[in-house]
Structure 1
């Protein structure tokens, strides 16, 4: 699908675009650990479907002419202070898959007082993903 056609196909709502140094490691993390479906992926861009939502990955080099290019200069950690919460994603399964694929598990799956079972996983480039499910269904 051409880029302009893909853009016009996106539903109304909130979109997330993660800027990454390389597409493939993050795309594989999304697929192999989080259970996402890759809609499209190349060295510049990927579209990912997860839990009924579509989000995008853009490689840093594809943002050279973008207003965000200056934000990327000298960046050590991506998404500082941001948690990407994945409601309805099994934290026990995601934790096991993250460990299997040698990703960092900040905190293993645990029941929290706010009624969710969740874990904190570090994806490529340092983004934090928090798969969670309701305790007791």
Structure 2
């Protein structure tokens, strides 16, 4: 949980509302997210879906509309995270980058192109 908390704070620029080894509440881009450690799911319906998973977030893409893709990319590189794709202008009118978080989730910060 500490690695994800640090990633959210240092790379995504989230405000940490509360965090311990089991749970964190963060505020990012006007929304509050609640993150739970795997071991907090021992008696939860999700237990069967995460059992034996090597990479928790494999295949999950979290799009962060309104996050600065250049700043997130720079922070990710500074903190040693994998940048799958650097910030680039896309034909659909957004500037995006792709960054891998500590649990394998892909974060895609994006912002509208000027004009």
**Short-chain TM bin:** over 0.9
Residue aligned with 2:103, SS: helix
Between the aligned partners of 2:71 and 2:84, the Cα distance in structure 1 is 15
Between the aligned partners of 2:34 and 2:92, the Cα distance in structure 1 is 29
Of 93, 108, 111 in structure 1, the residue corresponding to residue 86 of structure 2 is 108
Q: How big is the shift at 1:60?
A: 0.8
Q: How big is the shift at 1:80?
A: 3.2
Q: How big is the shift at 1:45?
A: 0.2
Deviation sequence 1:54-95 (CA, Å, 0-9, x none): 111101111100011111111022333321111110000000
Residue aligned with 1:114, SS: coil
What does residue 29 of structure 2 align with? 51
Gaps of 5+ in 1: 1-22
Between the aligned partners of 1:102 and 1:36, the Cα distance in structure 2 is 18
Between the aligned partners of 2:93 and 2:54, the Cα distance in structure 1 is 33
Contact 2:59 2:105 in 1 (8 A): no
Alignment of 1:1-137 (within 5 A): 23-136=1-114
Figure out how many residues of one structure are paired with residues of the other and give that number: 115
The one of the two structures with greater contact order (alpha-carbon pairs below 8 A, sep at least 6) is: 2
Between the aligned partners of 2:56 and 2:37, the Cα distance in structure 1 is 13
Residue aligned with 1:62, SS: helix
After TM superposition, the score normalised by the length of structure 1 is: 0.81
Contact 2:96 2:108 in 1 (8 A): yes
